[in-house]
Amino acid sequence: MKDYKRIPFPHLVNCRDLGGYACADGKFFAYHKIYRADAPAALNEEEWRYLKEEMGVRTIIDLRSTGEQRMTPYQVPEGILRISCPMMAEENWSGENDLSKMVDGQGAGMGGVAAGGAGAGSMGVRKAPASMTMEDLAKIREMLREKIASAPNDGFMKSLSRQYEEMLEESPKRAATVLNHVGEHISEGAVLYHCSVGKDRTGVTSALIYLLCGVAEADILADYQVSGDYLRQNEFIFASMPEEMHCMMESKAETMRHFLKLAKERDYMGVLYANGLRESAAAAIREAVMEA
């Protein structure tokens, strides 16, 4: 397989290889070891074959809430292990999870919306599912506006910076468990993890792995920022939410910069170890991805 940074899937807009960056001790983060993505709920048979046979994925870790997983389920092919590992307690997550809850029973939660997006190159933007009409999208937008208006304080539109902070400070065991799964299974083949649109929970997980391997802050910031641009290929996401919510699909450098600042000041890696991250899992990740 070629060393793609973003994998050109017709039905994933934000599937990327973590490889390609310099690590600690003069080493290189290898390609084809760890992937990040939006939810693969709309992959067709050929795309699943490519993910398994060409990319070598053997483990998929689903970071979405249980509600999101029920709303937009998917089946992995034989030979791939899927692990459900919600990154945050459902009551704490006011980002992608709240967006998915607002879809009114049409079977197209945020995971489906994200997965039904644009492909690479000339494949263009996929249209909304056949069951979704412009009237349906208008209803979703209006419900979201009502949700914003009725939320106390910053409620529904809580800043991404604060939500990222909560992932480590209110749910550290969950983040530690995700990294343990990566370390436990990476020797079996490539690992892919995803949330709904592959930006926030997935972005924080990627930042933690990069920190574990000594990737420079500038590279972590650069990697984080591209999600917002890739997600704009999926017009359905933006058509189904009011304009004042479009900021929730952004991935600005200052958001991740704030998280990295806290990670250093509050020793987030130490917090993870204190909450269950196994040194053997961390060592397995480093051994698998850090090449001379």
Say if 227 falls within a structural domain.
Answer: yes
- Please indicate, yes or no, if residue 196 is contained in any of the structural domains: yes
Q: Comparing 61-75, 194-208, 233-247, which segment has the lowest mean pLDDT?
A: 233-247
* Short-list 211, 197, 203, 149, CA closest to 41: 197
In a domain, 101, yes or no: yes
With a CB cutoff of 8 Å and minimum separation 6, the contacts of 101 are 67
Q: What is the CATH number of the domain that holds 23?
A: 3.90.190.10
Please give the pLDDT value at position 232: 80
List of E strands, the chain? 16-17, 28-29, 34-37, 57-62, 81-84, 190-194, 290-291
122: containing domain: 16-291
Q: Give per-residue pLDDT as tens, 250-289.
A: 889 999 999 999 999 999 999 999 999 999 999 999 999 9
Is pLDDT of 114 > 70? no
The lowest-confidence range among 76-80, 95-99, 169-173 is 95-99
Is 1 contained in some domain? no
Q: How far is 226 from 213, CA to CA, in rounded Å?
A: 21
In a domain, 7, yes or no: no
Grouping H, G, I as helix, E, B as strand and the rest as coil, residue 258 is helix
Examine residue 276 and state whether it is found in any structural domain, yes or no.
Answer: yes
pTM (predicted TM-score): 0.82
Per residue in 171-230, pLDDT (tens digit) is 999 999 999 999 999 999 999 999 989 999 999 999 999 999 999 999 999 999 999 989
d(CA 101, CA 28): 40
Please tell me what DSSP assigns to residue 129: P
More confident residue, 244 or 1: 1
Mean pLDDT within 151-180: 83
Contact between residue 117 and residue 199 where contact means Cβ atoms under 8 Å apart: no
Backbone angles phi, psi at 158, to 5 degrees: -50, 140
Number of domains in the chain: 1
The verdict on residue 9 lying in a domain is no
On whether residue 206 sits in a domain, the answer given is yes
